Amino acid sequence: MATFYSEEASNKRNSLAMALVVVVVLALFGYLIGYVVGAGSGNEVAFGVGALMIAIAIGIAGGLGSYYSGDKLVLSSSHAQAVSAAQAPMLYDVVGEMAIAAGIPMPKVYIIDDPSPNAFATGRDPAHASIAVTSGLLSRLNREELQGVLGHEMSHIRNYDIRFTLIVGVMVGSIALLAQIFLRYTFWFGGGRRNNSSGGGLGVILLVVGLVMAVLAPIFAMLVQMAVSRQREYLADASSVELTRNPVGLENALAKISLDPTPLKVANGATQHLYIVNPLKKLGGGASLFATHPPIADRINRLRALSNQSPLDATELSQLQGRA
């Protein structure tokens, strides 16, 4: 178990490094856009630096907006309703237990009226955090399994995954926005002054590079985000076991959530990575490049290893991999 938890420090360093990579890509892409726009004018560098500053400003503005109000937007778009201890006593009780175990303040508690079992955490830090669960999760899971799920979400809060997810999500969106702006500019205005006799050849080359970047940059940024999300899911699973001292509860919960065929209607591409199990593609044997979560079978087998259980047998594995 010590080896499993030793990934925590490494994952945090890797996550920070990936966030910095996204910032660098955002800045470089902004500079390239400006350089292409100013190609042939003699002020290419000035155009590039100006666009770089605008790109960084967009990222910072989006990050600040996400930092202070991103969680409210996520909860609102998910149709999550705040509940009191009187309305959901067992849920409140288990959330309180896990908060004490994690050593963090009690987060706000929300319920999403949806029969599909799932849950997520959001917020900017442990003092400003919220946990949302679906009504389907409460109806299908017993207390032990609910502890495993809420321990997982509490770990995301304690490890500051919720802040990282909000900010990186906005940064990735900023890169996609810049790509769209550049593509629309080249379509409508033909790349500005790139055809001038003073810089036509260079302008054409830069335009081609810019177009390639416009296509690849958002894809690259999404890959970074997805890779970080997968690593943090493994870490949150391990941290949940640390809090509950019971890997079986989370193991059974993951299987139940994954095998439930009910679609989560409020989920979308912008929020899918927040949930404990991907609500848009709950199952599936392998992890694609764009998967926001590790394969369920891998997560369950890691949990089984903690309690010295044998890995999933062929029948169990087939059930988890057979319904995408």
Residues with a known catalytic role? 153
> Which of 100-104, 125-129, 224-228 has the weakest average pLDDT?
224-228
pLDDT in tens, 131-154: 999 999 999 999 999 999 999 999
What confidence tier does 302 reach under pLDDT thresholds 50, 70, 90?
Answer: very high
Q: pLDDT tens, 178-188?
A: 777 777 766 66
> How high is the pLDDT of residue 222?
67
What are the Cα distances from residue 222, in Å, to 42, 61, 279, 290? Answer: 35, 20, 18, 7
CA distance 78 to 242: 29
pLDDT number for residue 11: 56
Mean pLDDT score across all residues of the chain: 80
Whether residue 30 is predicted with pLDDT greater than 60 in this model: the reply is yes
Under 8 Å between Cβ of 91 and 248: no
pLDDT category of residue 3 using cuts at 50, 70 and 90 = very low
Residue-level pLDDT at 16: 67
What per-residue confidence (pLDDT) applies to 33?
76
The average pLDDT across 211-222 equals 70
